[in-house]
């Protein structure tokens, strides 16, 4: 079980992912954009942050570089829907900024859960 | 009628007048010589002994003047012809420039349109992936909550299958809109075509024959082999679909010299060596309206569900990435021909003779 911060602007995806993570017996906190996530991070310290890349107010890219500075031990998983200018480029960028793993939407949820488990387990041991 | 008369009159004064004048002069001279008493001539020469001299000088001066006149006329005629020729040339050049300009404008417009649609498609793909992700996630969650042998479980499986198809479509759209940075390597064009044909043959009906004609030498270009495969596969599939299961697809690969006439059809092509790939079918052809839109993404004439409308759009995008050009000619009822110009890569350092380093 891990404490997870979920940052996603799409209501449907956020709600669905929250359910998936909760069912896998993780503790989930949700934020709709980068700014909200920063607010939450002031009071709580999750093990993993799962974040979208293209979001209003504060994008996933900015959020990742900020979080990596303030919470260097936090694991970050980036997910992106592709499109706009160069989506895979964003995922590459998110990884070079500090995201441990990145996925392209639609993500295979089983793989996502496995990645979370591996990251949390790896950290604890 | 009146105009005809006028022309005839002009013709007479232009052609016959000098002869008539000369003839009249000769007749008068003969008459004078015949009827004039010799006494008068003798008297004249006696009182004016220089009259013959004056007459001779007059005739000489007149002859000289006549020759000069003839020369002048000729010269003027020549200069008129030259002006006329220059004028014609200038008009030709202007018409050509105008045509080139129109072609360029059209190509530019088409390019901008395709680029805009590409950006739009990319944006749609992003949002669509989010929607698909939510549907897939919820369907999976719901499936976990119900008995596995029930109809609902099976139906949710169908929902997931549908999503899978949607996912593939989005992947194709992204491929069209995404500007990937490929590693371009020297690729043998003929081998690539043969490879693509090998892949395609089993999927093409036996009643469709595919002919490949090619120059003997190896043609090499810088490119991504998988993408070039895709161009050929898409073009041939398009040709086969246009023939309703019966006919011939002709593929011709040839060299183009830099002075080839074909370049007038490709005003955008950068100077250089190219090879030409033609894919023609004996299908039902297209009208002008269809032809103007075939490279637009999502444009299809096929039945709903049969074509995605991305095949030729992808061909166009890949070709542009390879600095290639494409042109389509078609006639309703007698088939279409796609002509592609692919920039040739000259293997300068083939024998280790590196001149640049």
Locate the domains of chain A by residue range.
3-124
**Could you give the ipTM of this predicted complex?**
0.86
Q: Which of B306, B320, B328 is nearest to B177 (CA)?
A: B320
pLDDT tens-place string over residues A24-47: 999 999 999 889 999 999 999 999
**pLDDT given at position B120:** 75
Q: Is B348 on the interface with A (CB under 8 A)?
A: no
Choose the closest CB to A82 out of B134, B163, B174: B174
Q: Is the pLDDT of residue B13 over 70?
A: no
Q: Which CATH class is domain A3-124?
A: alpha beta
**pLDDT given at position B293:** 82
pLDDT confidence band for B180 (50 / 70 / 90): low
Contacts of residue B241, defined as CB under 8 A and 6 or more positions apart, other chains included, come to: B283, B302, B307
Q: Taking CB atoms and an 8 Å limit, are B126 and A84 in contact across chains?
A: yes
Q: Which of A12, A25, B210, B79 is nearest to A4 (CA)?
A: A25
Q: Is the pLDDT of residue B182 over 70?
A: no
How much is the average pLDDT of B176-180? 59
Q: Taking CB atoms and an 8 Å limit, are B163 and A19 in contact across chains?
A: no
pLDDT confidence band for B177 (50 / 70 / 90): low
Instruction: Return the percentage of chain B with pLDDT > 70, whole number.
Output: 88
Mean pLDDT rounded to a whole number for chain B: 82
State the Cα–Cα distance between residues A105 and B232, nearest whole angstrom.
Answer: 30
The 8-class DSSP code of residue A67 comes to H
State the Cα–Cα distance between residues B137 and B159, nearest whole angstrom.
Answer: 11
pLDDT tens-place string over residues B207-254: 888 888 888 888 888 888 878 888 888 899 888 888 887 889 999 998
Order of strands across the sheet with B247-256? B208-214, B247-256, B274-281, B335-343, B325-331
- First-last CA distance in chain A: 14
Instruction: Assess whether the previous peptide bond of B228 is cis (omega < 30° from 0).
Output: no
Q: What is the DSSP string of B93-112?
A: HHHHHHHHHHHHHHHHHHHH
Please report residues of A whose CB lies closer than 8 A to that of B179: 86
Please report residues of B whose CB lies closer than 8 A to that of A104: 129
How many residues are listed for chain A in this entry? 125
Per-residue 3-state assignment (H helix, E strand, C coil) for B6-50 = HHHHHHHHHHCHHHHHHHHHHHHHHHHHHHCCHHHHHHHHHHCCC
Q: Is the pLDDT of residue A93 over 80?
A: no
State the Cα–Cα distance between residues B234 and B274, nearest whole angstrom.
Answer: 21
- Percent composition of chain B: helix, strand, coil (DSSP 3-state, to 5): 60, 15, 25
**pLDDT given at position B199:** 76
Please report residues of A whose CB lies closer than 8 A to that of B131: 12
Nearest chain A CA: its distance from B194 CA (Å): 32
Instruction: Return the percentage of chain B with pLDDT > 90, whole number.
Output: 24
State the Cα–Cα distance between residues B227 and B322, nearest whole angstrom.
Answer: 10
State the Cα–Cα distance between residues A6 and A76, nearest whole angstrom.
Answer: 10
Q: Is B138 on the interface with A (CB under 8 A)?
A: yes
**pLDDT given at position B81:** 95
A interface test, pick of B125, B127, B130 with most A CB neighbours within 10 Å: B130
Q: Is the pLDDT of residue B176 over 70?
A: no
pLDDT confidence band for B357 (50 / 70 / 90): very low
3-state secondary structure of B276: strand
Q: Is the pLDDT of residue A89 over 70?
A: no
Q: What angle separates helix B51-145 from helix A109-124, to the nearest 10 degrees?
A: 70
More confident residue, A83 or B48: B48
CA angle B217/B318/B173 to nearest 5° reads 150
Mean pLDDT rounded to a whole number for chain A: 85
CATH placement of domain B185-343: 3.30.565.10
Q: Is the pLDDT of residue B328 over 60?
A: yes
Q: Taking CB atoms and an 8 Å limit, are A83 and B126 in contact across chains?
A: yes
B101, with CB counted inside 10 A (0-12, 13-18, 19+), is exposed
* Tokens 């080839």, located at residue: B260
The 8-class DSSP code of residue B264 comes to G
pLDDT confidence band for B266 (50 / 70 / 90): confident
**pLDDT given at position B291:** 83
Please report residues of B whose CB lies closer than 8 A to that of A82: 122, 125-126, 129, 170, 174
Question: Domains of chain B: which residue ranges?
Answer: 37-178, 185-343
More confident residue, B31 or B5: B31
**pLDDT given at position B354:** 39
**pLDDT given at position B305:** 55
Beta strands in B168-242 (DSSP E): 185-188, 208-214, 220-223
Dihedral angle over CA of B155, A107, B138, A27, nearest 10: 140
**pLDDT given at position A85:** 47
**pLDDT given at position A23:** 94
**pLDDT given at position B240:** 87
3-state secondary structure of A26: coil
Q: Are A106 and B140 in contact (CB under 8 A)?
A: no
């Amino acid at each position: 079980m891990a404490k997870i911060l979920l940052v996603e602007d799409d209501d449907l995806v956020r709600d669905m992912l929250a359910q998936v993570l909760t069912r896998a017996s993780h503790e989930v906190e949700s934020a709709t954009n980068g700014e909200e996530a920063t607010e939450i991070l002031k009071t709580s310290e999750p093990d993993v942050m799962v974040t979208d890349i293209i979001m209003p107010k504060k994008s996933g890219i900015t959020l990742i570089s900020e979080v990596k500075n303030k919470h260097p031990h936090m694991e970050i998983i980036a997910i992106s829907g592709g499109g706009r200018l160069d989506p895979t480029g964003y995922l590459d960028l998110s990884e070079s900024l500090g995201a441990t793993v990145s996925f392209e939407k639609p993500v295979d949820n089983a793989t996502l859960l496995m990645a979370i488990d591996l990251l949390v387990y790896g950290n604890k041991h | 009628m009146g105009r005809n008369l006028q022309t005839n009159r002009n013709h007479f004064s232009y052609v016959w007048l000098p002869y008539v004048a000369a003839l009249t002069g000769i007749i008068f001279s003969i008459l004078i010589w015949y009827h004039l008493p010799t006494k008068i001539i003798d008297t004249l020469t006696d009182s004016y002994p220089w009259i013959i001299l004056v007459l001779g000088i007059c005739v000489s001066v007149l002859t000289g003047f006549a020759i000069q006149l003839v020369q002048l006329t000729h010269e003027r005629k020549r200069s008129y012809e030259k002006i006329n020729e220059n004028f014609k040339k200038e008009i030709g050049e202007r018409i050509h420039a105008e045509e080139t300009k129109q072609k360029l404008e059209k190509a530019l417009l088409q390019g901008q349109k395709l680029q805009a649609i590409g950006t739009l498609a990319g944006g749609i793909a992003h949002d669509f992936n989010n929607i698909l992700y939510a549907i897939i996630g919820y369907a999976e969650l719901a499936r976990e909550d119900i008995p596995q042998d029930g109809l609902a479980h099976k139906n949710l499986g169908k929902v997931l299958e549908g999503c899978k198809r949607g996912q593939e479509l989005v992947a194709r759209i992204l491929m069209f809109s995404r500007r990937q940075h490929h590693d371009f390597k020297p690729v043998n064009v003929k081998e690539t075509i043969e490879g693509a044909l090998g892949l395609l043959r089993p999927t093409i009906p036996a009643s469709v024959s595919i002919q490949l004609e090619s120059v003997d030498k190896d043609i090499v270009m810088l490119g991504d082999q998988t993408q070039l495969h895709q161009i050929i596969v898409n073009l041939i599939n398009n040709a086969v679909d246009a023939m309703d299961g019966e006919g011939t697809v002709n593929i011709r690969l040839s060299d183009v010299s830099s002075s080839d006439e074909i370049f007038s059809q490709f005003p955008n092509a950068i100077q250089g060596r190219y090879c030409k790939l033609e894919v023609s079918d004996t299908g039902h052809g297209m009208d002008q309206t269809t032809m103007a839109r075939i490279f637009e993404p999502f444009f299809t004439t096929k039945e709903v569900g049969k074509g995605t409308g991305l095949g030729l759009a992808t061909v166009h995008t890949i070709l542009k990435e390879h600095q290639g050009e494409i042109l389509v000619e078609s006639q309703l009822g007698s088939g279409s021909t796609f002509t592609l110009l692919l920039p040739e890569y000259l293997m300068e350092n083939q024998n280790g003779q590196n001149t640049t380093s």
